[in-house]
Each structure stands twice: as structure tokens, then as C-alpha cells.
Homo-oligomer: A and B are copies of this chain.
Amino acid sequence: MTPNTNNILRLSREISTSKSKDLVIIHGGGSFGHPLAKEYKISEGYTGEKQLKGYSLTHQAMVQLNKIIVDSLLEAGLPAVSVTPSSFIITTNKRITTIDTTLIARYLTTGMVPVLYGDTILDTKMKFTILSGDQLAVRLATELKAKKLIFGVDVDGVYSANPKIDVNAEFFKEFSVSQLKNTKIGGALSTDVTGGMLGKIIEAEEAVKSGVNVILLNALKVGLIYQVLKGETVKGTVLRR
């Protein structure tokens, strides 16, 4: 459990100084949730009683990471407020089937910035599983009719191959899910060591369809999150239908 404190505080400041309205923040598990979720096989659903402690420990790890992030956002002057996905969402075979976003909407009208995360989750078929921050972000963006959905990742956007290992990887300024039928790209994305680029694109399709502007960009590059929140054009991949 090693938080990247410098980047968390820098991003907190970029978000805060952008003075964005009606903002919702979702973060993933990083080095907090993933190792425990893997150890107790939480995403595979209930297989035995021993997992119950693991479910709780995984959630506790996420609570701890969320606390670090919310504290950092508060320090940066943003009225951030923690909202716990596993306390109001239920999935069925890993897909969200129960969610009431009125509480999130109410936080927004009160002037606060809800901060959610990928979390352990109760599931009507598997008893429990893992809900990804990606699925949650897309669902919230769609239900709350967001104008923009920004995925901050550790590469510049979508490439034809993993840019970290293939120097010939082609960068896409625009990308559509239909391009995934090109199996070379789909194959490359699915084995992406950064994990989940393919997952993000497939999840995000739903938001794109609903008219949300979806962009993937490199959150490690200083200033990019600030600029995109200010409405400036930045390097990144815009998803298209």
C-alpha cells in the first residue's frame, strides 16, 4: 500500500484550481485494493467462508486509499466528500443493477464534490464481486447526464499496441469501439501491461452512445487535467461512436 502522494496532491491542486462545477471524482484501487482482492479471489464471487474477511479487508484498504485522496482534495481547497459504492450499489453478474444516483446529485447541488472508487460489491448471483471504477464512472456519467467523462491514465491515450513496449505503436487522436474488430489492435490492447485500457474503452462505449464526450489522457503529465477541465484542447484520445 504505497500511495503516490506527490501525484495525488498535484492532481488535487489541478482539479481544485480549475474551479470546475458539478464534478464527480472516481479512483481505482492502485496498490491498495488489488493485492487483497486477488489474494481472496473476491472478483470470482463467493466460494467459501474464508473470503468474508477478505471482502472486508479489501474494502477497508479502499477506504484507506479514499481517505488519503479526499484529505488531499480538502487540503487543496476542494469540498470533496467520500461516497462508498458498496453501501448503495448492487451488481448482478458483475454489472450494476441497483443504483440510486439522487444522493450523488444532491451532493452536487449542495456544492460538494463526491469522490467514489472501485470497490468490493454485493452481487445478486455471485454473492459478491469487484466493481471497477471504470464501470462506475461510465454509469454515473450516463445517469447524471455528464457533459464530459475524463479517464486519467498513465499513457497518452489509445495506441495500436502497448506504447511502453512497442516503439512502433500508433497513437489514435480519435478511436471508436468498431476499430477493436481489427483484432491486432484489440489483441494488443487486451494484453496492455497498464491493464484495463481495453476494459475502459468497452465500458466507455455506453457513455459515448449517450452523448457524453469521453477522453482518455495522461494524468501523469503535469497540467493536463487542469487544462482539460478548463475546456482546453489537450493531447489525448477522444472516443467516437
Which residues on A are within 8 Å of B, measured CB to CB? 46, 49, 52-53, 55-57, 59-60, 63-64, 67, 70-71, 74, 79-88, 90, 98, 100, 102-103, 106-107, 110-112, 122, 127-128
B103 touches A74 (CB 8 A): no
A103 touches B128 (CB 8 A): no
Contact status of A56 and B84, CB under 8 A, knowing A100-B100, A106-B90, A110-B128: no
Instruction: Tell me the complex Cα distance, A138–B35, Å.
Output: 38
Q: Smallest CB-CB separation from A107: which chain B residue? A: B122
23 A-B pairs within 8 Å (CB atoms) are namely A52-B79, A52-B111, A53-B79, A55-B79, A56-B80, A56-B82, A59-B81, A60-B70, A60-B71, A60-B82, A64-B67, A82-B84, A83-B84, A83-B86, A83-B87, A87-B88, A87-B103, A88-B88, A98-B103, A103-B122, A107-B122, A110-B127, A110-B128
Instruction: Tell me the complex Cα distance, A60–B149, Å.
Output: 27
Chain A interface, DSSP helix/strand/loop, else mixed: helix
Taking CB atoms, residues of chain B closer than 8 Å to A86 are 83
B122 touches A52 (CB 8 A): no
| Cβ 8 A contact of A111, one of B49, B60, B90 | B49
* Other contacts beyond A56-B82, A64-B67, A98-B102: 17, CB < 8 A: A46-B110, A49-B111, A52-B79, A53-B74, A53-B79, A56-B70, A57-B74, A60-B67, A63-B67, A83-B87, A84-B84, A87-B103, A90-B102, A90-B106, A100-B100, A110-B127, A110-B128
Contact status of A87 and B90, CB under 8 A, knowing A82-B59, A107-B122: no
B83 touches A56 (CB 8 A): no
